[in-house]
Amino acid sequence: MRMTRPLIAFALAGSLFASNAMAAPETYEIDPTHSFINFSISHLGFSFLQGRFNDISGSFVYDADNPRANSITVEVKTASIDSNHAERDKHLRGKDFLNVDKYPTATFKTTSFEPKGEDGVLTGDLTLHGVTKPITIDVTFVGAGKDPWGGYRRGYSGKTTIKRSDWGISYNLGPAAETMDLYFVVEGVRK
């Protein structure tokens, strides 16, 4: 009897350790009211135009045991562009820029993730204006934990720079506006 109790205790401890060590990947649905895709582009070399997209959706996978398997899929309604000026937004939605009637969505899908602690470099395919090209995003872990409504949340920020003409958007805004900075804040609720 004495030998059995220590063996049972050891087996239980081992099974608990194994279940903690091999946590299943977690899937998070992007919370669109707490997630943002912002952009900044030179205005004729004199200042910067900044704006955002108001309609985003998607999900991401967090795998604590295999961070290289972390991934995200995002969809953006291009007509939701908001630069705080109605006439400019109308022009941005038109054929000179986003051509939202022809290309109503932009998407990003992960192809790889290189972890650096909780942060990392995310590589994936950005489809914009009917063109798909790879981009890399420097990702920073913001935080994770329980929310006041009984859910569990995880958040990240990220940034990258793209060249507009790579996606067929070449309307002349001057040489300083060839590139555009994109900033991301993504908060997800665990499913």
pLDDT in tens, 31-65: 999 999 999 999 988 999 999 999 999 999 999 99
pLDDT at 75: 98
- The pLDDT confidence band at residue 23, using thresholds 50, 70 and 90, is confident
In sequence order, the 6+-apart residues with CB closer than 8 A to the CB of 171 are 96, 97
Q: What is the pLDDT of residues 84-96, one digit of tens each?
A: 999 999 999 999 9
User: Helix (H, G, I), strand (E, B), or coil: what is residue 150?
Assistant: coil
Q: Which of the two residues, 15 and 126, has the higher pLDDT score?
A: 126
pLDDT class of 1 with cuts at 50, 70, 90: very low
What is the per-residue pLDDT across 6-15, written as a single tens digit (0 to 9) for each?
444 444 444 4
Give the torsion sign (CA, 86, 91, 97, 102). positive
Q: Give 165's contacts (C-beta < 8 A, 6+ positions apart).
A: 178
What's the pLDDT score for residue 12?
44
CATH superfamily of 24-190: Lipid/polyisoprenoid-binding, YceI-like (2.40.128.110)
